[in-house]
Amino acid sequence: MTENMTGDPNGDGPIRLVLADVDGTLVTKAKVLTPRAIAAVKRLRARGILFAITSGRPPRGMLMLREPLAIDEPTAGFNGGVVVDASGQVIETRTLTEAQARQVIGIIRDHGADPWVYTGTDWIVTKADAPHVAREQATVQFPPTVGDIAADLSQVVKITGVSDDAGLMQRLEHDLQQAMSDGASAACSQPYYVDVTNHDANKGGVVAMLERRLGVPAAQMATLGDQPNDVLMFRKSGMSIAMGQASDAVKQAATYVTTSCEDEGFARAIERFVLREGDGAD
């Protein structure tokens, strides 16, 4: 584990809230929440430190994490596009306009990628056997609706472009950002996914939402993530921690770097950098 900054990154006070990305951060590549990660969150709570999660997943795709981690803070799905409370009730929603949704679908298809559409309740794909559909279904633990993704674009909270061509995905991310400008947020959430959401539905916005709802200053939050879309919350929070498998660009944006999600990187980061329990080693 390494540090990218010297001095005290928490000059504005102790950490009072930890906000974690899910896939590649809180859970392993096999989507496993380890006993050590659960224990680390339990120790946060024993110290009076709040814990929240955010993800490109829909909120219902994170329900399996709430009970083992005793999460009662707001949960931000779709990178902040839909926020739910402890009971699962929607408390905030940010959607794309129909014109934006049609433009994004067109750009994704023009690049040869596969578009998926998410509303607050549904995940819509054109083919059940398309690349990564089965993987996503196993992750979020509910099936997609198969049909015309553009049939109703009135309540779209996220559109995802999907391809296993890494170079294509980088070009798609760039071109979507250029086309949408300040009108929407476009960023890779995985090497094979580019997520497009409302301009304010991004992980930096999640930090601001938690600051407003929980009364915890952003300077007293620690954020953890592994993908380019996590950098937006890194920039807003007082402490940021990149996972060991993250790209160099993501690591350089963080205060600290921990080990990978396959090597208890989340738990080690909480133990060492937030709880200050030695070096986080076994």
Domain boundary assignment for the chain:
2-93+202-274, 98-198
Residue 34: partners with Cβ closer than 8 Å, 6 or more residues away: 28, 264, 267
pLDDT of residue 10: 47
pLDDT of residue 2: 60
d(CA 204, CA 235): 7
pTM: 0.85
Cα 5 to chain centroid distance, Å, stands at 24
d(CA 184, CA 249): 22
d(CA 137, CA 123): 10
pLDDT of residue 28: 97
d(CA 33, CA 76): 18
pLDDT of residue 12: 63
Mean pLDDT (10-residue bins), the chain, 282 residues: 47 87 96 97 97 94 94 95 93 96 98 95 94 93 95 95 96 96 90 93 95 97 96 97 97 98 98 85 49
- Say if CB 125 and CB 133 are below 8 A apart: yes
pLDDT of residue 1: 63
Architecture of the domain defined by 98-198: 2-Layer Sandwich (3.30)
pLDDT of residue 146: 97
Q: Which CATH number fits domain 2-93+202-274: 3.40.190.10, 3.90.1150.10, 3.40.50.1000, 3.60.15.10?
A: 3.40.50.1000
